[in-house]
Amino acid sequence: MDAHSLIQQLGLQPLPTEGTLFKPVYSGAGCSSMLGLYCEPPAGPRSHSLFHRLPVDEVWYHQGGDALRLVLLHPGGRCEDVLLGTDLAAGQRLQQVVPAGTWQAGHWLAGGRQGWALFGCAVAPAFDSCMFEGGTAADLLAGWPGRVADIARLACAPGQTGMPHLPGESATA
């Protein structure tokens, strides 16, 4: 299946600010989850996750297609690249916990056969747009100067570091 077909079949929409193609799957009982898709033209529209952090742990899990890359900038200056996919022998992981307060960004890993990577994310308590904090290049470079290429590609634009309320959220949340 190609990315365009997946987008239509799953009803994926661009997530404001960060650019992931997504669909909320569940919200209730103190947690929420979503489906996400990363791809690049010509497989589909460009989809990626710009640097952001949440005040809660987030669990990512690979759902299908090619591998994806998570760039994690941990408090204290440590950084980590995580490949989510099914090739465990190559060091890919099926899931990854991103600790609260860690800057994270993600994208499809070029060179895959499918041209897309499908994933899921879950958080508890349930996600609310007010939790989202986008990272600008100036802020991120101050703590992780060795990640200039990733930061240049995946930083939020100044003034675009918040997330608008998503459908179904209270405007006063």
Query: How many angstroms separate the CA atoms of 149 and 123, rounded?
Result: 28
pLDDT for res 18? 83
pTM for the predicted model, two decimal places: 0.93
pLDDT for res 45? 86
Task: Give a three-class secondary structure readout of 93-157.
Answer: ECEEEECCCCEEEEEECCCCCCCEEEEEEEECCCCCHHHCEECEHHHHHHHCHHHHHHHHHHCEC
Which residues of the chain fall below pLDDT 70?
167-173
Q: What is the DSSP letter of 89?
A: G
Token representation of residue 61: 């899990």
CATH code given to domain 3-154: 2.60.120.10
- CA angle, residues 14, 19, 24, in degrees to nearest 5: 50
